[in-house]
Structure formats: C-alpha cells, structure tokens
Amino acid sequence: NAGVMQNPRHLVRRRGQEARLRCSPMKGHSHVYWYRQLPEEGLKFMVYLQKENIIDESGMPKERFSAEFPKEGPSILRIQQVVRGDSAAYFCASSPGRGGKETQYFGPGTRLLVL
C-alpha cells in the first residue's frame, strides 16, 4: 500500500514564477492537508481539503496561494508569483475521512527554493 506521494521532491523557481505542488493521498484516504515547514521550525497548517471541497483554509495566505483537491487526480497547492519568503518544505498529509480521530500520514515533502 503506497504511502502519500508528493512531486516534485525539489522545485526551483525564480521570483515571480508559479509553483505547483502535487499530492496523491494514501489509497482509500479522502482528506488531504497541506503544511509548510520553514528551516528549523515545526510544521504550520495551511489548508484542509476533502474531495472537491476546501474545509479549512485558515492557515493559508490570502493572496497568491490556492489549493484544490479535484474529484479525479492529486491535490494541488499552487503558489503564484513566488517570492523568496515562500522557500520552504511543503508537506502533504492524508487521512481516511471516516470521522473521529484521524491520524494524518505525511508524504516526503516538496522543497521549494525561490531564487
């Protein structure tokens, strides 16, 4: 049973470009979460999605950032017009979505570097 998959693992962008980060949840999981980790810090929640719905985006910057989890295909975290401060590791997690206690399982992350 494959775990959470993320791609690309490393992404380099110049300021002003767009970054697209993909996340495929574990098989059978319908909930996806995105977190950002700055160097030597803990993970910070960004957004929580179910299929075709954004449940909680309270941790996501209002501008330039968007997320989706379509009916088919992976979840996408999109960052438009990237700035150097966007450089970080972005982790996706998934959970079954059956309610109650939901352990989140994390992917390997995408390390974004903005030049």
Q: Which of 20, 26, 59, 96 binds another protein (CB under 8 A)?
A: 59
43 belongs to the binding site for another protein (CB under 8 A): yes
Q: Does 94 bind another protein (CB under 8 A)?
A: no
Give the C-alpha separation, 102 to 71, whole Å.
21
| Residue selected from 58, 62, 72, 85 as contacting another protein according to rule CB under 8 A | 58
- Asked whether position 69 contacts another protein by CB under 8 A, the answer is no
Q: Cβ contacts of residue 12 below 8 Å, gap of 6+?
A: 112, 113, 114, 115
> Which position among 15, 41, 70, 83 is part of the footprint of another protein (CB under 8 A)?
41
Spatial distance between the Cα atoms of 103 and 110, rounded to a whole number of angstroms = 21
